[in-house]
Structure 1
Amino acid sequence: MGLLVPAVQRVREAASRLSSQNNLKQIALACHNFHDVHGHLPQDIVDKNGKPLLSWRVAILPYIEQEALYKQFKLDEPWDSEHNKKLIEQMPKIYVSPSLPQFPGLTYYKGFSGPGAVFETGKKIKLQAITDGLSNTILVIEAGPPVPWTKPEDIPFDPKKPLPPLQPLPRETQTNAALCDGSIRVLDLKKIGEKRLRLLIQRDDGQPIDFDFE
Structure 2
Amino acid sequence: MPLSLSRGTRSRGFTLIELLVVIAIIAILIGLLLPAVQKVREAAARAQSQNNIKQTLLACHNGHDTTSYLPPVVSFWWSNPTNFTYSNSDATFYFSLLPYYEQGAISAGISNWGGSGLGQVGSTGKAAMSFPIKILTAPNDPSGGDGIFARGFNADWMWDPAKSAGGVDVALCSYACNFQVFGRPGQNANDPWDWQNTAGKSTLQGISDGTSNTIFVAEKRKACGPAGTPNNSNTFGTAWGHPADDRYWPTFARIPVSTGVPVDQRQFPVPQFAPTNANCDNYRAHGMSSGVIMVGLGDGSVRGVSSSITQATWSQAVQPRDGSVLSSNW
Give the TM-score band, short-chain normalised. Answer: 0.7 to 0.9
Aligned to 1:27: 56
Higher relative contact order (CA 8 A, sep 6+): 1
Structure 1 77/22 Cα, relative in aligned 2: closer, same or farther at 3 Å? Answer: closer
Is 1:163 aligned to 2:229, yes or no?
no
Name the aligned partner's letter for residue 313 of structure 2. R
Which deviates more from structure 2 when the two are superposed, residues 178-187 or residues 104-113? 104-113
SS in 2 for 1:88: helix
Structure 2 residues without counterparts, runs of 5 or longer: 1-29, 82-88, 149-170, 184-197, 225-236, 244-248, 260-267, 271-280
The percentage of aligned residue pairs carrying the same residue is 32
SS in 2 for 1:107: coil
Contact 2:107 2:114 in 1 (8 A): no
SS in 1 for 2:309: helix
Aligned to 2:230: none
Is 1:61 aligned to 2:108, yes or no?
no
Which of 112, 132, 138 matches 2:178? 112
Name the aligned partner's letter for residue 126 of structure 1. T
- Cα deviations by residue, 1:143-181 (Å, 9 ceiling, x for unpaired): 234411102411224363553843642111411000000
Distance 1:134 1:191 in 2: 23
Contact 2:50 2:302 in 1 (8 A): yes
- Cα deviations by residue, 1:59-117 (Å, 9 ceiling, x for unpaired): 11111111111212455575446x3763333221110111112422211210122xxx1
Aligned to 2:134: 93
Aligned to 1:18: 47
Which of 282, 307, 310 matches 1:193? 310
Q: How many residues get paired?
A: 208
Distance 1:208 1:49 in 2: 34
Distance 1:72 1:158 in 2: 38
RMSD: 2.4
Distance 2:79 2:128 in 1: 24
- Please say which structure displays the higher CA radius of gyration: 2
TM-score (norm 1): 0.86
Question: How far did residue 18 of structure 1 move?
Answer: 0.3
Structure 1 26/5 Cα, relative in aligned 2: closer, same or farther at 3 Å? Answer: same
Aligned to 1:40: 69
Aligned to 1:149: 240
Distance 2:238 2:200 in 1: 22
Question: How far did residue 195 of structure 1 move?
Answer: 1.3
